[in-house]
Amino acid sequence: MPLHADRIARLLADRSRLANALRAAPDVRGVREGGNFLFLDVDDPADLARRMAAAAVRVRFRPKATPGGVRVTVGTDAENRALLAVFGIGEPGRPARRADLVRDTKETRIALSIDLDRTEPRRIDTGIPFYDHMLDQVAAHGGFSLVLACEGDLAIDPHHSVEDIAIALGTALRQALGDKRGIGRFGFALPMDETRAEVLVDLSGRPFARFEGDFATAAVGGLPTEMVPHVFRSIADSLGAAIHVRVEGDNDHHKVEGCFKAFGRALRSGLALEGDSNALPSTKGML
């Protein structure tokens, strides 16, 4: 599955980055890489194991089986930063804004990976080609990487897949945003041929959704048009955002696509990092 290939590539990149950083640490004699872990050859492995455990770093210390070192697992961004901190190594710049999510129910199985600071890869397979196209529009115009796969009960109805994917996307966006420091927070709208679509977004932490517009047809490309407002409501609820959508026009294909494109552009403005990385775009001091 493409999602798993992307995760493996990311893990290998993280492992290599950690290994290179740790090789420069004064008390590390050598670093061996394998799978999702590193083996560190050090002068005092027992002391290092205690220091790592105290810092909540995942470590395996087996002096009889593997004398002379400890094995550490390549973990999340926060866990990897904690590992480097044990050696007094800091990471420059902002923490990565990404999330991996698996959502399994009796109706759908979803795996999703998102990175707000990369534009590629974008690979989406929902089982509903037009919905794939719409979500790709969101990621492309939002300026972020999205890899998503869903196996759903489409033989019954598209409803469960469409809704659960929207919930998973909103949840992953919320996780990837972290504490939201430095973001733009708000965003806007676009025309598409005869259609005008306007999407207003506030990444406030407070969920609210409003959809103004209607459709003449029951479905576009296998995506029920009655589910379009529901998608934005589900994302608003799981992301914790105010999302206002207004659309008018003559062609339902253009109207649906205009909504998703405008949402992507609104997200691009809201997710964008601006100025002071420690500043929160709120006078409350929290979002």
The CATH number of the structural domain formed by 2-86 is 3.90.1150.10
Whole-number pLDDT of residue 46: 83
pLDDT recorded at residue 224: 98
Backbone angles phi, psi at 219, to 5 degrees: -155, 155
Residue 73 CB burial class (10 angstroms; 0-12, 13-18, ≥19): middle
pLDDT by residue (tens digit) across 200-243? 999 999 999 999 999 999 999 999 999 999 999 999 999 999 99
Please report the pLDDT score of residue 2 as a whole number: 60
Q: Are 187 and 201 in contact (CB under 8 A)?
A: yes
Average pLDDT taken over every residue of the chain: 88
The mean pLDDT of 29-35, rounded to a whole number, is 89
Higher pLDDT, 176 or 275: 176
- Evaluate if residue 1 carries a pLDDT over 60: no
Q: For the ranges 100-114, 146-160, 190-204, 246-260, which has the lowest average pLDDT?
A: 190-204
**Is residue 91's pLDDT more than 60?**
no
pLDDT digits (tens, 9 = 90+) for 49-78: 788 777 777 677 666 556 678 888 888 777
pLDDT in tens, 154-165: 999 999 999 999
Task: Give the tokens for residue 23.
Answer: 């090789």
The pLDDT value recorded for residue 45 is 82
Sketch the domain layout of the chain as residue ranges. 2-86, 98-271
* Buried/exposed 178-209: b ≥16 CB within 10 Å, e otherwise: bebbbbbbebebbebeebbbbbbbbbbbebeb
CATH topology of domain 98-271: Ribosomal Protein S5; domain 2 (3.30.230)
